[in-house]
Chain A
Amino acid sequence: GQQLNQSPQSMFIQEGEDVSMNCTSSSIFNTWLWYKQDPGEGPVLLIALYKAGELTSNGRLTAQFGITRKDSFLNISASIPSDVGIYFCAGQRLQGGSEKLVFGKGTKLTVNP
């Protein structure tokens, strides 16, 4: 199946630091999405990107859709303890009725107060 390479696998940072994670693929995607999963919960959408080169912010979060449409990154500025969780990238490719999501393996973020 399609693969999304998400890195890093895990991060341990101090409160207040900035965080960056990225996703790459050998396939082109029409949409890139970033989700956060809190312990014991399902993923929640943070940001959706629809256009190559698009840079979108949501509070302290900024994400970009790569020009080649094969990659995306997510930045979190001035991290706080509640940023702890697993962050997933996901790509969606229009396939004429088969527009399923493909997920990366996740980046586990730990924030030390």
Chain B
Amino acid sequence: NAGVTQTPKFRVLKTGQSMTLLCAQDMNHEYMYWYRQDPGMGLRLIHYSVGEGTTAKGEVPDGYNVSRLKKQNFLLGLESAAPSQTSVYFCASSPTWDAYGYTFGSGTRLTVV
């Protein structure tokens, strides 16, 4: 019963490098989300998906791309990392739109130097 698993847990990138963050859920949830958390800013939605093969932009989508090729996986890509993307990234999933059902992963701490 892993819930929501994020990999990696930590990563340091150089400006301009690319990387992909992986989120995997084993609860058969339809909805998946990527948030970023910055000090004093709370959580802000980057992209989300309401089902396999679908993605949509959230509040702060610029500089990120996502894919949901399989229902259980939601990938967040940074094509050309910038220092402004230094943050803690959280993935979440839910069975329906109801926020009561959100389950969060434990986060990926990304530093871009």
Contact = CB atoms under 8 A, between A and B. Distances in A.
A42 B99 contact: no
B42 A106 contact: yes
Most buried by A among B33, B45, B99, B104: B99
Interface size class of B (residues with CB under 8 A): 20 to 34
A99 B97 contact: yes
Contact of B99 (A1, A44, A92): A92
B92 interface: yes
Interface string B93-113: 000011110101111000000
B58 interface: yes
B12 interface: no
B100 A48 contact: yes
B74 interface: no
A40 B58 CA distance: 24
Interface size class of A (residues with CB under 8 A): 20 to 34
A6 B40 CA distance: 11
B104 A101 contact: no
B107 A41 contact: yes
A105 B100 contact: no
A40 B99 contact: no
Given A1-B59, A40-B107, A41-B107, A103 B102 contact: no
B99 A31 contact: yes
Interface string A20-58: 000000000001010000001111110010000000000
Given A88-B43, A106-B40, 19 more contacts: A4-B42, A31-B99, A33-B99, A41-B107, A42-B90, A42-B92, A43-B104, A48-B100, A88-B42, A90-B99, A92-B98, A97-B97, A99-B97, A100-B48, A100-B58, A101-B43, A103-B35, A103-B44, A106-B42
